Structure 1
Amino acid sequence: MCGRLLGRRIEWHHVIPKSQGGRETVPLHPICHRAIHAAFGNKDLARLYPTLDVLREQEEIAGFLKWIANKPPDFHAPTRRPRP
């Protein structure tokens, strides 16, 4: 999703959440995977962001991708959910 090389740790993301009937998975950095799920619930991912290309265009994810772009593959930082 972010365009960086994968590191030692990889998590598999259901593009359409498994709970919403999705089967396709893609490998992601753990921090990228957490950023997706911190920003959106499964229903929104399935309904509004059914592809990585659409997800990348979303403002919060686009900002995250700019921030993470130059970090090393195994970079880790706490992922926080936005405040309501």
Structure 2
Amino acid sequence: MARKRREEITSWYQKPEPEVCPLCGRIIPEDQRDEHHLVPKSRGGRKTQALHRICHRQIHALFSEAELEKSYATVEALLEHEEMRRFVAWVVKKPPGFYDGTKRSNRRQQGSPKRGFR
């Protein structure tokens, strides 16, 4: 019996394209991927956008849910805000897996009630 020639085997599996954060433009590692509701879920939002965890945390550190709903419900609107642009300019220089703790904006601290245990 004759041997069959080895033909090149093509796989049906195609590795998915890496996701890119629409804010900073860096590839999102799987362990740093967060889903952001463009309009907060508590305000009826359903549409989500995949973001870096650090970018997602920065959005919520800067803006209240009311601000997100009324003024910053798109990636383009977020990028128009001066503090968000400065953050993106800083984080774009970091490697994709970079994460650092996020501090609440001074602007948000003034108007929001203090929470926590006493």
Q: TM-score, with normalisation over the residues of structure 2?
A: 0.68
Deviation (angstroms), 1:8: 2.6
Pair 1:8 & 2:36 matched: no
Unaligned runs of 5+ in 2: 1-22, 111-118
Identity of aligned residues (%): 44
Deviation (angstroms), 1:2: 1.2
Corresponding residue for residue 32 of structure 1: 55
Larger radius of gyration: 2
CA distance in 2, matches of 1:3, 1:15: 17
Deviation (angstroms), 1:74: 1.0
Deviation per CA, 1:46-78: give whole Å up to 9, x if none.
001111101111011000000001211110111
Corresponding residue for residue 58 of structure 1: 81
Q: 1:46 aligns with which of 66, 69, 78?
A: 69
Contact 1:2 1:65 in 2 (8 A): yes
Pair 1:71 & 2:98 matched: no
CA distance in 2, matches of 1:77, 1:15: 23
Q: CA RMSD in A?
A: 0.9
Q: TM-score, with normalisation over the residues of structure 1?
A: 0.94
Query: What letter matches 1:17 in structure 2?
Result: P
Unaligned runs of 5+ in 1: none
Q: Which has the higher contact order (CA 8 A, sep 6+)?
A: 1
